[in-house]
Amino acid sequence: MKEFGPFSFTHPIALGVATAPTQIEGFPTENSWYDWASIPGKIVDGSSPLRANEHWTRYKEDIDLMASLHIRHYRLGLEWSRIEPQEGRFDEVAVAHYREELSYLLEKGIRPLVTLHHFSNPSWFERRGGFLSKDSIDIFLRYVRYAVAKISDLCSEFITVNEPNVYAVNGYLYGIWPPGRKKISQTLSVMKRLAVCHLRACQAVREIYGDKPVRVGYANHFRIFRSPSEKVPARIQTRLIEYLFQDGITRLMTTGRGSFPFGLFSGVKKGLYCDFIGINYYTRCTMKGFNELPVPASSPRNDLGWELYPGGIRLLAKKYYERFGLPVWITENGTADAADGFRSLYLFEHLQELALNGSFVERYYHWTFIDNFEWAEGETARFGLVGNDFERQKRTVRRSGHFYADIISNRGVTPAMIDQYLSPDSD
C-alpha cells in the first residue's frame, strides 16, 4: 500500500485552473475546429465545439463555481474567430462580451491570464493557408494589437501562443488535426512562424502597455523523452526528437536566437521575449523515429493511455529554469480520468514534486477546470475538476475538485486531507 506524507508550499505559488475558448464556449463561429468537426470521422465521438460547455452564456455560473472552490487564478483564452469573424472586420459585440467576462472575474477576486491563440483559427485565415502563408505573421499581429488594446485595462498577463509544437505536429505531420497535412517540411515551417508570432506579439504587447506592468510568455508542450534503449544510436535519435519537438523552438521563443531548422526571420533581434517559462506537462513517452511506442505494461496510465510520471514536472521545471533563469509557470497539468479514480493522487504527486523541489515555480494551472470538448477526442476525454453532463449542461464538482480546493486553502496537503482523499477507506 502506498504511503503519503503531508507537504506544504514554503515558497509563494499561485494555484489556478485553465481552459481554452474553443473547448468550452459553444455556439456557432466560423473557425478551423468547427469546420473540422463537421467532417465525419474526425472527432472520436462525433461531437462538436458547437455544444461544448455553453460557457459563452454560462460564464457567470462557471466563474461563481471557481470562486466557491477558492480559485483565484484562471487561464482563459480569446477566440480569434469571434473577434475577427471576417478578415479585417472586428466584432465589437464579441469584444464587449470578453470585457464583461474579465470584469466579472476581477469582481470575484480571480486574476486572469489571457491566451491569445489556442489552436483555432478563423475559417477565412485557414483558407488563406493558415500559418503557412507568408503574410500570416502580420495578420496575426493585427489581431493581437487590436484585442490586447481592447482589454489592457482588465488584464496584465498574457500567453501569446499555446503549444505551437503540438499544433504543428498534429495538424501538419500526423494529420489528425486541421488542416490534416502530413509533411515534415510544413510542420517545421509552421512551428517557426508561430515562434516568430510569439516574438512579435510579445513586442506588441509591451508596446501597448508602455510603462504599465505586464507579463508576457508562451505555453509550450514539454515531455520527458525516454530512449527505447541504451544504445548510442537510440539515445542520439531520442535527443534529436526532443530538440525538434521542444528545445529548439523554446530557445527561439525565449531568446530570439534561432538555430537549424528554426532560423530567424528578418527583423527579429536577440533578446528576452518572455517574463516566465510556460510549461504544459502531461506525460513521458518513448519514441522510435516519429512514432510513439506503447507505454510499458508496468507503468500507470490515464484514460487516453498516457503514462503518468509525476517526476517529470520537477525535471522539466528545473531544466528550463536553469537554462533561462526565468520563473516557471506550469500553464497546464492534468489527466483524463472519467471515473475520478486517480486524479486526486495525480494532483498530490505532481504538486508534491513542486512543493519539495520547485521554489522557482510561481504558478500552477490545472488542466482543466471543467470537462470540455477535448479536440479530436471530443467529449470522451474527461480532464475536469468539475464534471459536465453535456446533454443537460449540469456541472458537478468531483472529489478531486474538492481536494484541489482544500490544497489551495491549506497551501498544501495536511494529514487530515490524506485521510479524507487518499486513504483506501476514503471513498
What domains are there in the chain, each with its CATH number? Answer: 7-422 (3.20.20.80)
- Mean residue pLDDT across the chain: 96
As a whole number of angstroms, the distance between CA 323 and CA 139 comes to 32
Strand pairing category for 73-77 and 14-18 = parallel
Terminal Cα-to-Cα distance of the chain (whole angstroms): 16
As a whole number of angstroms, the distance between CA 59 and CA 30 comes to 21
pLDDT higher than threshold 80 for residue 55: yes
Q: What percent of the chain has pLDDT over 70?
A: 98
pLDDT higher than threshold 70 for residue 425: no
Distances from the Cα of 168 to the Cα of 36, 159, 220, 328, 399, angstroms? 16, 18, 12, 24, 35
> Looking at residues 32-48, what average pLDDT do you find?
98
As a whole number of angstroms, the distance between CA 171 and CA 193 comes to 14
pLDDT higher than threshold 90 for residue 215: yes
pLDDT higher than threshold 80 for residue 13: yes
pLDDT higher than threshold 80 for residue 2: no
Q: What pLDDT is recorded for position 3?
A: 78
> Looking at residues 159-171, what average pLDDT do you find?
98
Q: Using one digit for the tens of pLDDT, what is the confidence trace for 234-275?
A: 999 999 999 999 999 999 999 999 888 987 666 678 899 999
pTM over 0.95: yes
> Looking at residues 188-215, what average pLDDT do you find?
97
Contact of 23 with 375, CB cutoff 8 Å:
yes
Q: Using one digit for the tens of pLDDT, what is the confidence trace for 104-124?
A: 999 999 999 999 999 999 999
Closest CA to 277 of 344, 216, 199: 216
Specify the higher pLDDT residue, 357 or 307: 307
